[in-house]
Amino acid sequence: MEIKTDRQYSESHEWVLFENDTTATIGVTDFAQSELGDLVFVNLPQVGDTVTAGTPFADVESVKAVSDVYCPVSGTVSAVNEELLTAPQRINENAYDAWFIKVEKITDQKPLMDAEAYRTHTQA
């Protein structure tokens, strides 16, 4: 299982890559995609939507189940990776390239972990 050191992680298995203090890109981790199995549908928010730290902003459906994806930050959606809507397998292929949304005007965030702490979290 791959964990990248260039970004931060939430307890609910999302990754956050900050461009600066108020702008970040968000996706789900390699651990999350491997637990979910082959993904078949993704629902994403729209540009301009408000997202709130700790609440769902997207959902993913695998052959096994539908799961919420929680937003690690509060802010406004500035971009959406629409490719995932038609090709959810990109998340299985490379979870760290297959970003979900970009968020700007970030005002708040959940407690985040670095790669090492996240590795410990997934082994717990």
What residues make contact with another protein under the rule CB under 8 A?
38, 40-41, 61, 63-65, 88-89
- Residue 34 or 107 with smaller CB distance to another protein: 34
- Residue 5 or 63 with smaller CB distance to another protein: 63
For residue 101, give Cα distances in angstroms to 90, 98, 121.
Answer: 14, 10, 24
Tokens 């769902």 correspond to: 56
**DSSP codes joined into one string, 77-94:** EEEE-THHHH-THHHHH-
| CB of residue 82 to another protein, shortest distance in Å | 16
| CB of residue 86 to another protein, shortest distance in Å | 9
CA distance 18 to 92: 22
| CB of residue 49 to another protein, shortest distance in Å | 19
